[in-house]
Amino acid sequence: MIHKEGRRLIIISFLFLGLVNILLFKDLENISWLYYILSFGLLVVFVLIVQFFRNPKRTTPIDPSKIYAPADGKVVIVKEVLENEYFKDKRIQVSIFMSPLNVHVNRNAISGVVSYFKYHAGKYLVAWHPKSSELNERTTVVTKHENGKEILVRQIAGALARRICWYVKEGDKVTQGEDFGFIKFGSRVDLFFPLGTKINAKIGDKPVGGETVIAEWGD
C-alpha cells in the first residue's frame, strides 16, 4: 500500500524516468550494454522512491497501559533530559532515527486528546545531530492520556527531509496506532515521557511503529 503523500511524486517520477529511458535508448541504440546498465539504474531509483512511501497495514491492540512506538527505525537516545518547550521540566527522552529505507509513517503512541501542537520552521542538520531537536524543522505534538498524564512526540526533519506532514491539531481525539503524520526521507522522532514511566526501549533497538511497546505507564 502506498501512502497518500507519495502518490503524486511516484507518478511524476515514473513519467520523468520513463522519458529519460526513451531518450537513452535513442542515444545509445548502438551501445546496448551501456543502455541496459543505465536503464537498470533508473529502475532501481524508481523502486527506491516507491518503497520509501510504502504504508504497510499495522494492527495496534488498543491498550491504555501501553505506549507504542510512533515510528519504525532505530533507537539512538534513551536518557533523562530537560524538556524546554512545553513541560519545562525533566522528562525521559527516547529518540528513533528513521533512515530513508524505513517506513516513514508516524503513528499515535497513545489514545487521548491533543493538548498542544506547534510547527517550527528550521534548519536541516543530520537527524542524529544532538541539536537537531532544537534547530531543525520540526513539529511538537502533546497528547493527554485518560490517566491525566501527557507525552510529547516531536517530528524532526533530517538532512534529506524537506517536508513534515501532520494530520492533527489541538483538541483532536486520537487513537493508538492511527496515522498522525509523515516525514519525507531521512528523519527522527523524539518522545518525552513523565519520570517514572517504564521504558522498554534501549539504544540499538529497532521498533516497529504501531506494534512495538516502547514504554508502559508507571504507578
Instruction: Confirm if 107 and 208 have CB atoms less than 8 A apart.
Output: no
Q: Do you know the residue count of the chain?
A: 219
Q: What is the DSSP string of 58-108?
A: ------TTEEE-SS-SEEEEEEEEEETTTT-EEEEEEEEEE-TTS--EEE-
Q: What is the DSSP letter of 32?
A: H
Burial class (CB in 10 A: 0-12, 13-18, 19+), 120: middle
Give the C-alpha separation, 86 to 142, whole Å. 8
132 tagged catalytic = no
Catalytic residues: 187
